[in-house]
Structure formats: structure tokens, C-alpha cells
Amino acid sequence: MALKHFRLPDVGEGLTEAEILGWSVAVGESVTVNQILVEIETAKAAVELPSPFAGVVRQLLVEPGSTVDVGTPIITIETADAEGGAVEPGPGQGEPAAKREPVLVGYGVAESATTRRARRTPGGPGAGVAPAPALAPVAPVAPEPAPAPEPVAATATVTTSATHVLAKPLVRKLAKDLGVDLTTIVPARPDGVITREEVERAAAAPAAPAVSATAPAPAALAEDRRVPIKGVRKATAAAMVASAFTAPHVTEFLTLDVTRTVKLVERLRAQPEFTGLKVSPLLITARALVRAVAKHPEINASWDDAAQEIVLRGSVNLGIAAATPRGLVVPNIKGAERLGLRELAGALAGLTATAREGKTPLADLTGGTVTITNVGVFGVDTGTPILNPGEAAILAFGAIKQQPWVHKGKVKPRWVTTLALSFDHRLVDGELGSRFLREVGRGLEDPAAVLL
């Protein structure tokens, strides 16, 4: 028998650290090769890591919520190796913890090794602000030999502990947002995994009211909370600051009658070829934008400051800003100009569903050329969007509302929306931006004639 450490792999694009979102296994559990062990979150996306070993889990070396460097041992698995008794060196056992090496097939490794930086926890040496009591840091778990698991009878009920509660990362996030302690939930599933429905029921359960013989006690003031800036939110913040202070932004607005678009959406939903697909005004807007790019290809460009060149992109990689539990992400549809309306509808549905599940692959988060942000789904009329870094334009699609509108010489209730186009004034001047926005508007005013 041998104990082997599984180290956090380099999942690509030079990322040097990741947050442990949640374990899919527990101490004492048998695992097979390629069985999912853990879900991690990098600055780009959430990734599930499979096991390179078959054996029995002996130690979980990192608590969920912790951020660790690439190359750090995160789990110990006892395997049935012939040499027996061999223990792979861990941190402090003769080998640097942050050495980057290929631990999983298919994951790239940067040439240089990273140096693990010292982490400062709130209240530790050099900390200037005391942490809020509700967010006291979890002390690191020192590796200890785990006891052999006790046999479990076939009829035994699976229970969870405070350390190893079994739940998907999105369920953990939901519980945190709703203030539900997962350790208080008894899972109904035989594998002991807590479900979203169980968290929602726990949150909806009425609290025991306080009994007062006189007047009700005054409500206690809520304490401040501190939320670490990390993962997708940290990367998004850095990118938006860089974009806002690098590209000179200009925003133009266009309010228009989209009654024909609303009617077209209703007709398309009734057609058999669109059965099972989500047909919405966003689909028509995406098609109108792609068509407008074909007429004004200069909008589909990027600014290469290092080479002092303007790069005219040969394909439209259409980004769709998506709000997810981990923050804003902008996956893109590669080659959107080659897709018909039905294919575009399928691509949009798959892209947004994958993003909300936190499963967007890294390839879909890079290479975008122009973006749509649909603020209308939140009931917002419009806004001044910030460019996705490396792109020349972003279109904000506002809420569609019935308003009085002059139509054929008479004031009538019509479906109206406002578009806002932000563009990089180094690449797009006022004339090009105006013509492009007007062309998108034409596609929404008369979609059947312009797009189909």
C-alpha cells in the first residue's frame, strides 16, 4: 500500500491559484481513476478535477473556501501500489509545495515554477483591521493519519459532519446566501448529498418566535460582513478597471419601436422548428447585431497597443454577459455570423445554461469580439456598459415596455425599448458608432424584412 498526494494541477492559461469550492468525496471513501474528487474555481471558471489514482481517501488537506497555489497537495489517497509503504513527499518533506508538474492528463504546465506567497489572515501579524466575528478564518488543517473507516451496514443512514458536508458547490453557495447551516440538514438521499430543495425548505422554515409578556424587543442591529474578493469577481473587477481606464468610452442611445420584433417572437415560438428552444427578443437582437457587423466590419476589431496595430477580426465571436452565482461572466459564441436563427437560438440557450451552472469552459471565455448585455431582464431601461477588454463595442439591450408612440400619424400603445452602444473611440468614431447602432435598430424595427 502507498499514500499518494494529489496536487492542485495547472488547469491552463497560466493561472497560479484556485479556490476549493467543495469536495465530492469523504475520508474513507473508495475512489476510482477519473472519478470527480473536487470542484475548484479559478479566476476564469469553475472546474471539476478527476482522480489520477484508484484507492481510498485518507485525508482532505484543504478546507472548502480556501485558496491554494498550483502544486499544493490537496488530498491523500491510499493506493494498492506494489512497493507499499511509500509516502509521496508533501509540503515541508523535502520538496517545495508549489512545484508545478503535470498531475493530470490534458492540463498544461507553465515552464517556470511559482513561488508560494505568504498569506495573511485577518487578525494575523501585520493585519490592520480586525475581522468581523462572523467571518473568522478557518484554521488550516494539519495533515494527520486518518483512522481506518468503520464498516457501515447496508441499512445505515448516511450522516454528515461539520467538516465534510456533502453538497454541490451551487448548493453551498445558496445555503450561504440564505443563511442556512448545512450541518443542521439531514439529507434524504442515500448518498448523503444535500439538495437545493432541502436548503430552500430549511430557509423557509419559520423561526420560533420570541415570547414577550410586554412589548416586543427591539430588533438587533446586523453586524458588518466582509466578503473576500476572489475568483471570478476578482478577475472581472480587474478587467473592468483596466478597460475603463485604458479605452476611451463613448456611449450612444437609441429608443425605438420594437412591436414587430415582439410579434415575430410570438410567431417563431409557435413554429415546429423552434420547439424546445428559447425564442426571445434577445435572439432577434443578437441576429440584428451580427448582421450589422457584416455591414460595418470595422466595429469587429481590437486595439493592439504593443504592436501599434488595429486587428480587424475575421469572425464574430458574440459575447453574452451572464449573471451567475459567482459573478458576471461573458462567454462567447464562436463564429456567430455562420449560424442561422435556429442555430443561434440553440447556441444562446446552451451558453447561458452552462454559465449559470458555473461550467463554462475556459475556451468560451476568451476570444470574444463584440458583446451584448441584456439589462432588460432586470426591468432596467438602459445603461452605459463598460467594454469587455479587447473588444471595440458592447450593446446594452434594455427592457421592452408598452408606451405611447406615434405610429402612422396616431398615438398608439407600442412596444418600445432603448439600446445603448458603448465603443472604444480609438477604434470607432462617432459616425461609425452611430451607423452601426442605427443598423441594429433597423433589425429590431422590421425584423422580418431585414433579418429573415
Q: What is the CATH number of the domain that holds 396?
A: 3.30.559.10
Where a domain ends, among 150, 172, 206? 150
**Pair 295, 434 in one domain:** yes
Pairing of strands 318-320, 370-373: parallel
Residue 317 belongs to a domain: yes
**Pair 277, 426 in one domain:** yes
Q: Which residues pair with 418 in a beta bridge?
A: 255
**Pair 246, 142 in one domain:** no
Please identify every residue annotated as catalytic. Answer: 425
Handedness of CA 195, 199, 204, 208 (dihedral sign): positive
**Pair 145, 290 in one domain:** no
3-state secondary structure the chain: CEEEEEECCCCCCCCCEEEEEEECCCCCCEECCCCEEEEEECCCCEEEEECCCCEEEEEECCCCCCEEECCCEEEEEEECCCCCCCECCCECCCECCCCCCCCCCCCCCCCCCCCCCCCCCCCCCCCCCCCCHHHCCCCCCCCCCCCCCCCCCCCCCCCCCCCCCCECHHHHHHHHHHCCCHHHCCCCCCCCCECHHHHHHHHHCCCCCCCCCCCCCCCCCCCCCCCCCCHHHHHHHHHHHHHHCCCCEEEEEEEEECHHHHHHHHHHHCCHHHCCCCCCHHHHHHHHHHHHHHHCHHHCEEEECCCCEEEECCCCCEEECEEECCEEECCEECCHHHCCHHHHHHHHHHHHHHHHCCCCCHHHHCCCCEEEECHHHHCCCCCCCCCCCCCCEEEEECCCEEEEEEECCEEEEEEEEEEEEEEECCCCCHHHHHHHHHHHHHHHHCHHHHHC
Where a domain ends, among 123, 150, 177? 150
**Pair 285, 418 in one domain:** yes
- In angstroms, rounded to a whole number, what is the distance separating the alpha carbons of residues 238 and 217? 45
Residue 210 belongs to a domain: no
Residue 128 belongs to a domain: no
**Pair 376, 256 in one domain:** yes
**Pair 141, 258 in one domain:** no
Where a domain ends, among 92, 126, 150? 150
**Pair 146, 236 in one domain:** no
How many independent structural domains does the chain possess? 2
Strands across the sheet containing 67-69: 46-50, 36-41, 17-23, 67-69
**Pair 295, 419 in one domain:** yes
Residue 101 belongs to what domain range? 1-114+137-150
Residue 227 belongs to a domain: no
Residue 383 belongs to a domain: yes
Residue 426 belongs to a domain: yes
Residue 283 belongs to a domain: yes
- Residue pLDDT tens, the chain, 452 long: 889 999 998 776 567 888 898 999 999 999 999 999 998 887 667 788 999 999 999 999 999 988 888 899 999 999 986 544 444 554 444 444 444 444 343 344 434 333 344 443 444 433 333 333 333 333 343 444 444 444 333 333 333 343 456 777 677 778 887 888 888 888 887 667 788 888 888 887 765 444 444 555 556 667 888 877 777 677 777 778 888 878 899 999 999 999 999 999 999 999 999 998 999 999 999 999 999 999 999 999 999 988 999 999 999 999 999 887 777 889 999 999 999 999 999 999 999 888 888 788 878 888 999 999 999 999 999 999 999 989 999 999 999 999 999 999 999 999 999 999 999 999 999 999 999 999 999 999 999 877 76
Q: What is the CATH number of the domain that holds 6?
A: 2.40.50.100
- In angstroms, rounded to a whole number, what is the distance separating the alpha carbons of residues 117 and 68? 10
**Pair 143, 283 in one domain:** no
Residue 44 belongs to a domain: yes
Between CA 204 and CA 211, with CA 205 as vertex, the angle to 5 degrees is: 125
**Pair 423, 281 in one domain:** yes
Which positions ≥6 away from 142 have C-beta within 8 Å? none
pTM of the model: 0.58
